[in-house]
């Protein structure tokens, strides 16, 4: 008797959702017939006949749409991976500087977070690309002749990073870095004050104290937030389309345009993202388990 009522509610809920899904599938089916679009994946193996500016895997326009999507996917992974490293470096430094005793460093760190977090990422990306890179008239040599920055990109030892890739990396890293900095600061704040006083009273220097005493204790508070920021970074990397980088979303967009297969293309995009998410959350889970196991 006690369970029946809740069971009825649950099954009704399930029934409504199923009905709703049936209704939608019915509509889609009807609309696909009406518009003559159809639903199939055969087009995946036709030649893509568009070119991509950047690819890690070998690619030419005569490759299939499927291959083009895979190339886009690997391009996404490349951006996510590099931006992930840089954003972590920026975020941790800014987070630690935010706790610095030096007022000026503290001020700069706060200012950075304040500006970056309150403006849209898309705007920042456009800014980095069109203003940051493309408006460089005279190439800038940072360390002659190792790093050379111009509106053709960053040239390191003859290896050229395109402005699209570079501005995406900078934009994503700077943006995500500001969020990571806040998480790091929160994590550091979660370490009891007594711990800071304790290492100082033992005469341990700040850098060693941070590395060996404070950060290990702050990690459990930092890691979950960090994971969700990494996932956000992966999702935000789809804004690549605004600066002309051929990531998975941009390639999907082109594919959908060329084939008109919007539903199929969308489904493939979602599957692609599911994989990226799985990769990141599994790696983080691994870290989480190992680090927390050792330190707890």
Partner 1 sequence: MKIITKDIKFLLFKARKIGINNKTDLFITFILLVGVFATLTNFLNWIFFHANWEVVSRNLNLYIIGTYPKALSWRPFLWISIIILLSFTTLLKKLNYIKKRFIYICWLLIIPLGIYLLAGGINIIPISTNFWGGLSLTLILTFISIIIALPIGILLALGRQSNLLIIKKITSLYIDCMRSVPLIAILFFGQLLTPLLLPVGMEINRVIRAIFSFSIFVSAYISEDIRGGLQSVPQNQIEAAKVLGLNKYQINKFIVLPQALIIAIPALTNQAIGLLQNTSLMAILGLVELLGISRSILANPQFIGSHLEVYVWLALIYWLVCTIIALLAKKIERHFSKSLNFQGDL
Partner 2 sequence: MRKLLSSIIGLTLLISGCSSSNQIGKSRLDIIKQRNQLICGVSGKIPGFSFLNTNGKYSGLDVDICKAISAAFLESPNNIQLRPLTAAERFTSLRTGEIDLLSRNTTFNLSRDSQKGNGLSFAPVVFHDGQGLMVKINSGVKDLKDLSNKSICVGSGTTTEQNINDAFEEKSLKYTPIKYQDLNQVIAGYLQGRCAAMTSDRSQLAAARSSFKNPGNHVILDNILSKEPLAPATVGNDERLADAVRWVIYALIEAEEKGITQSNINQKLDLAKDNKGMKPLRRFLGIEGDLGEKLGLANDFVVKIIKTTGNYGEIYNRNLGPNSQVYIPRGLNQISKQGGILISPPFN
| Residue with smaller CB distance to partner 2, 220 or 260 | 260
- Contact between 258 and partner 1 per CB under 8 A: no
Task: Print burial letters for 69-91: b (CB count within 10 Å at least 16), e (below 16).
Answer: bbbbbbbbbbbbebbbebbbebb
Q: Cα–Cα distance between 270 and 278 in angstroms, integer?
A: 12
Pull the structure tokens for residue 56: 């890690």
190 binds, among partner 1, partner 2, none (CB under 5 to 8 A by kind): none
DSSP assignment of 108-158: HHHHHHHHHHTS-HHHHHHIIIIIIITT--S-EEEETTTEEEETTEEEETT
Under 8 Å between Cβ of 125 and 239: yes
In sequence order, the β-bridge partners of residue 148 are 141, 155
Pull the structure tokens for residue 21: 């899904």
- Contact between 282 and partner 1 per CB under 8 A: no
- Identified binder of partner 1 from the candidate list 2, 34, 193, 293, rule CB under 8 A: 34
- Identified binder of partner 1 from the candidate list 19, 22, 32, 85, rule CB under 8 A: 32
The backbone region for 170, taken as left when phi is positive above 0, alpha when psi lies in -120 to 50, beta otherwise, is alpha
Show contacts with partner 1 in window 170-229 (CB under 8 A). none
Task: Draw the binding track, 119-158, toward partner 1 (x: CB under 8 A; -: no contact).
Answer: xxxxxx-xx--xx---x-----------------------
218 binds, among partner 1, partner 2, none (CB under 5 to 8 A by kind): none
- Contact between 28 and partner 1 per CB under 8 A: yes
115 binds, among partner 2, partner 1, none (CB under 5 to 8 A by kind): partner 1
Q: Cα–Cα distance between 272 and 274 in angstroms, integer?
A: 5
* Site residues for partner 2 per CB under 8 A: 12, 16, 19-20, 23, 26-27, 30-31, 34-36, 49-53, 61, 130, 134-135, 137, 151-152, 163-164, 241-242, 244, 246, 250, 253-254, 256-258, 260, 262
**Cα dihedral 230→281→80→222 (10° resolution):** 30
| Residue with smaller CB distance to partner 2, 86 or 130 | 130
Residue whose entry in the numeric block shows the structure tokens 């568009």: 50
- Identified binder of partner 1 from the candidate list 146, 270, 283, 292, rule CB under 8 A: 270
53 binds, among partner 2, partner 1, none (CB under 5 to 8 A by kind): partner 2
Please report, for residues 143, 147, 160, 161, 245, the alpha-carbon distance to residue 156 in angstroms, rounded to integers and kept in the order given: 10, 5, 6, 8, 20
Q: Cα–Cα distance between 38 and 109 in angstroms, integer?
A: 54
- Contact between 242 and partner 1 per CB under 8 A: yes
- Contact between 93 and partner 1 per CB under 8 A: no
Note the residues at the interface with partner 1 (CB under 8 A).
Answer: 6, 9-11, 13-14, 17, 24, 27-28, 30-32, 34-35, 100-106, 108, 115, 117-124, 126-127, 130-131, 135, 231, 234-239, 241-242, 249, 253, 262-263, 266, 269-270, 273-274, 277
């Amino acid at each position: 008797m006690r369970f029946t009522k809740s069971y009825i509610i649950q099954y009704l809920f399930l029934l409504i959702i199923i009905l709703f899904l049936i209704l939608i599938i019915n509509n889609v089916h009807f609309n696909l017939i009406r518009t003559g679009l159809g639903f199939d994946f055969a087009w995946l193996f036709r030649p893509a006949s568009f070119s991509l500016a950047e690819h890690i895997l070998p690619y030419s326009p005569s490759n299939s749409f499927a291959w083009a999507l895979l190339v886009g996917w690997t391009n996404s992974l490349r951006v996510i991976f590099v931006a992930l490293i840089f954003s972590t470096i920026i975020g941790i430094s800014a987070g630690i500087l935010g706790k610095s005793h030096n007022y000026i460093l503290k001020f700069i760190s706060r200012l950075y977070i304040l500006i970056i977090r309150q403006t849209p990422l898309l705007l920042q990306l456009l800014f980095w690309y069109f203003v940051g890179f493309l408006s460089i008239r005279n190439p800038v040599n940072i360390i002659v002749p190792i790093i050379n920055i111009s509106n053709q990109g960053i040239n390191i030892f003859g290896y050229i990073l395109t402005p699209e890739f570079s501005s995406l990396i900078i934009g994503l890293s700077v943006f995500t870095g500001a969020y990571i900095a806040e998480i790091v600061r929160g994590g550091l704040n979660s370490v009891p004050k007594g711990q800071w006083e304790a290492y100082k009273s033992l005469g341990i220097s700040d850098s060693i104290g941070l590395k060996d005493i404070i950060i290990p204790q702050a990690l459990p508070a930092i890691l979950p937030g960090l994971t969700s920021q990494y996932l956000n970074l992966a999702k935000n990397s789809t804004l690549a389309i605004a600066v002309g980088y051929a990531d998975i979303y941009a390639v999907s967009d082109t594919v959908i345009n060329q084939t008109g297969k919007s539903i199929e293309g969308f489904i493939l995009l979602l599957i692609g993202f599911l994989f990226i998410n799985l990769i990141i959350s599994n790696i983080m889970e691994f870290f989480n388990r190992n680090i927390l196991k050792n330190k707890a």
